[in-house]
Amino acid sequence: MKRQAFNPYLPSWEYIPDGEPYVFGDRIYVYGSHDRFNGWVFCQGDYMGWSAPTDDLSDWRCEGVIFPRDGDPVNADGRMCLYAPDVTRGPDGRYYLYYVYDKVNIVSVAVCDTPAGRYRFLGYVRHADGTRLGERAGDEPQFDPGVLTEGEKTFLYTGFCGRGDRSRHGAMCTVLGPDMLTIAEEPVFVAPGSEYAAGTSFAEHPFFEASSIRKRGDTYYFVYSSAAMHELCWATAKDPRGPFTYGGVIVSNCDVGIGSYKDASFPVAAGGNNHGSIVEVNGRWYVFYHRQTNGHWFSRQGCAEEIFFDAEGRIAQAEITSCGLNGGPLRAEGDYPATIACHLFDEKPALYAGDPALPRITQDGRDDDKVPGHIAQIRAGTTVGFRDFDFRGVTGIRTETRAYCHGAFEVRASFGGPVLGEIPAESSNVWVRNEAAIAVPDGVHGLWLTWRGTGSPQLRGVGFITR
């Protein structure tokens, strides 16, 4: 890569959650919904296209609006929000966008000749008699479409199952014919929701939402968000219609379940709902997911981590990092934006975002203002963590801060490890740099900063001083 790659992989002012990654030709494309900075509900924007060359996963390009919120007759007045989409290449070589709106229970389809051009409304997924899927007696509501095309058949996965709702049974698979709209095989359930998971392999991680499907070798991987919401799980089958068997967790956006460097139940960030999928790029596999920012659930950003399969095809849960698509640790030299912090927690960590008092990744200005983000509402005991860096000859650490405060950041190179030094910070109404001579042992480590003092410093960046 020409540059290093970070999490989030898109600019800090962009909010694209629910990412479905695909390689078409020599580029990787991510299709997701579109949140706003400081939004008040999910998915308020148009669908935006983003892509990168497969040989440089740091070089993301905005393709512009690929489908506007009012591009479908059912939402001509633009009042509804575009929820999570998915894309597949049809048997005719064109690209088909499947999506739902927030106030209807049907699946819409748009089509384009290229992966990231302007998609045009095509129609609605329908039964053979023309009734739209989701509106016939006995149909369950449609939600979060995931699609896979093989030959003349397209497998459509949908569903949403909240706790306590016995009217919804689980994730469904519906087979569509070559017109990409008409149902060729009626829906079958492939993963149970909370009310129907007892006694199945899904009992501890029942289906909630975010259906996605991928194929690796002769095995189909069904990716979904469990009832815990912060985790993406995987299940496998030899037939796209199932039966699927639960396999494990791919990633949690607060690292719950990871016990390699901390207690497995400890959330290193305030999590929330999750949605994404897996993709192979040049022989390496990645999971795309999203994180919560701005202290609530409605300004989410896309992240990615490399994942690994064992000989039996099992996926080990990935740890969340700052380096994501980089292919290894970041270089401990120069300066980095604070928004690549993957750990952000108080002395009493929160499992879910939403408490207005919690520290948060945010930005100045309004939605779509292209200004660098920062971390706000840091308070006594708040820890900001970055993973991982390759330390070589580091003799000092610096920070960039502002706001009313008096104290210092304790510096550690391991989670809960010894304090290596302190970086002072004082009140300032503009961004100022502070540094301290701190020797960090050579090797691959994280960087954790814990605030000890008064006030509430804001953090925009960290940097390294080297010999």
Catalytic residues: 18, 209
Rounded Cα distance between 420 and 395, Å, is: 11
Distance CA 280, CA 217 (A): 12
d(CA 132, CA 467): 67
What is the rounded (10 degree) CA torsion for 260, 266, 272, 278? 10
Evaluate whether 232 touches 287 at the Cβ level (below 8 Å). Answer: yes
